[in-house]
Amino acid sequence: MKEKIAFTVTRYGENINGGAELHCRMLAERLADRYDVEVLTTCVTNYVTGECGFEEGTSTLNGVTVRRFPVRAYDKSAEKKWQSGTRSVRRVRRMLYRLGWLKYLAAKHPVCEWGLDADVNALKCSVFYSPEMISYIETHKSGYKAVISITATYAPFYFTAMAAGEKMIGIPTLHPERAAFRPYLTQSFTRIACLGFNTRAEMTLAENIFGRKNISGKIISTGIEDTAPADWNEVKRKYALPDKYAVFIGRIEKGKAGKLIGYYKKYVSEHPDAPKLVMVGGIVREVGRHKDIIYTGFVSDSEKRSILQHALLLINPSKYESLSLVLLEALRDNIPVLVNGRCNVLKEHCILSGGAVRYYTGYRDFRREFGTVTADCNVRENMIAAGKKYYEENYSWNVILPRLYGAIDNI
């Protein structure tokens, strides 16, 4: 009889667009061969408005039992009111982190009590707060060998830690953003049996915020899906794609797209014959339009892979990543990658990959690297060879799964 494990995550489903959500689904489906896997999640589909597009109840998806719970009505004004009570502590903690002092403070005072009550109340007003899910975890935790929760900066992660921290493997997908310095994280991180990080840079970030001795962590990471690509001619026609283009894949919003649109507009004004820029993903907030930028909107996984495979270059301009699944997909499919060097995780890929990934920190860097990679075949060939090796040695599933099995066995 298989041992039972559970995942807790904000949203779950094949048509959910998000790196953490895909991360959860890939792990859950691969562990289903070895364990009886359940996913505890909400009915929410839109993480901005809190709209619920899923029905409450239990279903099965690709061999995984999915239990969906209702959420409390999203109260944005109340959430902001409670968060305002933590603004000062977040600013102070972030300043101490930048000075390199926060880890020493955390060593003496692991849990930050300043602003903690207000912070927890803000979580209870947030998009993904589900008292029913929390109650279910408290009642049924004894039936699970381990509970794996993904993404630290949302309510399910915190309340899973409070209800079942002794059985929890937390995959925080932590970024050096303001949310990482909220007081409630100091309480949850110090209760979790094992923290599974995606990269060494992410683990170092956590140690510098919460104190090395206060967290039990290891590198687990994840692999990627091997979806068959859609027919290229059909995809090219459907989205009116050019022969030569660079591609961005992800949620189209400021936090993910960064300064890419502005940089590209400036570049193409200086180099009118430059490859087009194709932006794949849902537009969360309105962005600038340009005749040389093509927006596909949401595409299927098979269409996404086809678009990626025919690109000259993948660009990830985000400052906030804990891994970057699309970067791994590009390396697997022999596509060079250009990233924002102000993200430590992405810059670490540049350093460790032997040149498969290049970075920029400003427009001058962007102009040089974009021009070189899209025009120089020798540079591209060297990047492709290094990328394949880096991916296979570090992110193939036969490397990732034994790490996760070990973490589960040690609970």
Q: pLDDT tens digits for 236-247?
A: 999 999 999 999
- Tell me the CB-side half-sphere exposure of residue 98, using CA atoms within 13 A: 9
Q: pLDDT tens digits for 88-123?
A: 999 999 999 999 999 999 999 999 999 999 999 999
Helix (H) or strand (E) holding 245: strand 245-249
Which pLDDT band, with edges at 50, 70 and 90, does 287 fall under? Answer: low
Q: What is the pLDDT of residue 288?
A: 66
Q: pLDDT tens digits for 377-393?
A: 999 999 999 999 999 99
Calculate what percentage of the chain has a pLDDT beyond 70.
99
Q: Is the dihedral of CA 12, 15, 19, 24 positive or negative?
A: positive
Domains of the chain and any CATH numbers: 4-223+397-409 (3.40.50.2000), 232-394 (3.40.50.2000)
Residues with Cβ within 8 Å of 185's Cβ and at least 6 positions away in sequence, in order, are 152, 153, 158, 209, 210
Can you tell me the distance from the alpha carbon of 315 to that of 360, in angstroms, rounded to the nearest whole number? 10
